[in-house]
Amino acid sequence: MLLNQTAEKIRSMEIRGAGRIARAAAEALKDRAGRVETDDIDLFRREMGRAAETLVSTRPTAVSLPNAVRFVMRGMDGATTVREARDGLTDAADSFVLASEHAVERIGEIGARHIADGDVVLTHCNSEAALACILAAHREGKEIEVFATEVRPRNQGLLTIRTLNDAGIKTNFIVDSAVRSFINDVDLVVTGADAVTVNGAVVNKIGTAQIALAAHEARTNLVVAAETYKFAPRTILGERIAIEERDIAEVLDPAVAASLPNVRVRNPAFDVTPAKYVDLIVTEMGAIPPQMAYCIIRDYLGWDLTEFQKAF
């Protein structure tokens, strides 16, 4: 797929979900590398740099996107010719896509261990990783039931319930604001993540934080399923993750909004769940308490304070 087409599909949420976004970006960079016609290594690097910037600018919150782009672009490190740079970038893109797909499978295996036979599980949004845990538990023969939220305003919950229905899992579909009414019937909350900060706070689809609060009040454990490339290196020195606000048309018809001059429509796509409300983060490298998020950034993303400072 052409780079600009991929960027627009990511921006418009035709391609959505942090893992899918990351893989699409890797594939787009690979495609772009094959289309740049030059023998000048410096020009090639500049062209690929512009491509990377185009992709990263599409969704400011999902750190899987810049992490994927950074991983793929590092495939050019040490290259002295365009051919070496192109081959290195292509290999890095292929490696990332394969690792991303395997990560979801591995998270499913690990996450399923934390779902007991007979559990009622609540999930929010449409997370590949969270669903992998639920589906793996079901395949193991565990009798489970799921509560899935509608997920306003983009209704990603419809994708989730179709997947659960096709798997033959008993599912209850509820509006987001009904979570507290059912939380005492739930044994475990499993969500995905768009970003995990160095202190273990989780950025995920809007509504996750209030679900976490309801779960905490009910003493219901909250498990977050997240690939390691969703951890945010730039939070090491306190940089905050930008919360994307999307078009008001997703919430209210623009014609209606125009008739209400004293009303400002707000549409944040994500919120932040503090680490104290997260019981466990399941990654492809294992399950960790949120306080160990720094270890993931250091050991699996290759970032420490020294490397962070070099970036500025």
- Say how far apart CA 63 and CA 14 lie, in whole Å: 18
Q: What angle do CA 83, 65, 272 make, to 5 degrees?
A: 165
Cβ–Cβ < 8 Å for 212, 273:
yes
Locus of tokens 């740049």 = 36
- Which are the contacts of 295, defined by CB distance < 8 A and separation ≥ 6? 288
HEC-encoded secondary structure of 214-273: HHHHHCCEEEEECCHHHECHHHCCCCCCCCCECCHHHCCCHHHHHCCCCCCCCCECEEEE
> What is the DSSP code (8-state) at residue 177?
G
Q: What stretch of H or E contains 298?
A: helix 293-300
194 tagged catalytic: yes
Q: Are strands 188-191 and 120-124 parallel, antiparallel or unpaired?
A: parallel
CB half-sphere exposure, 303, CA atoms < 13 A: 23
125 tagged catalytic: yes
Q: What stretch of H or E contains 195?
A: strand 195-196
Catalytic residue among 119, 176, 194, 279: 194
Catalytic residue among 119, 125, 133, 176: 125
Which residues are the active-site residues?
Answer: 125, 194
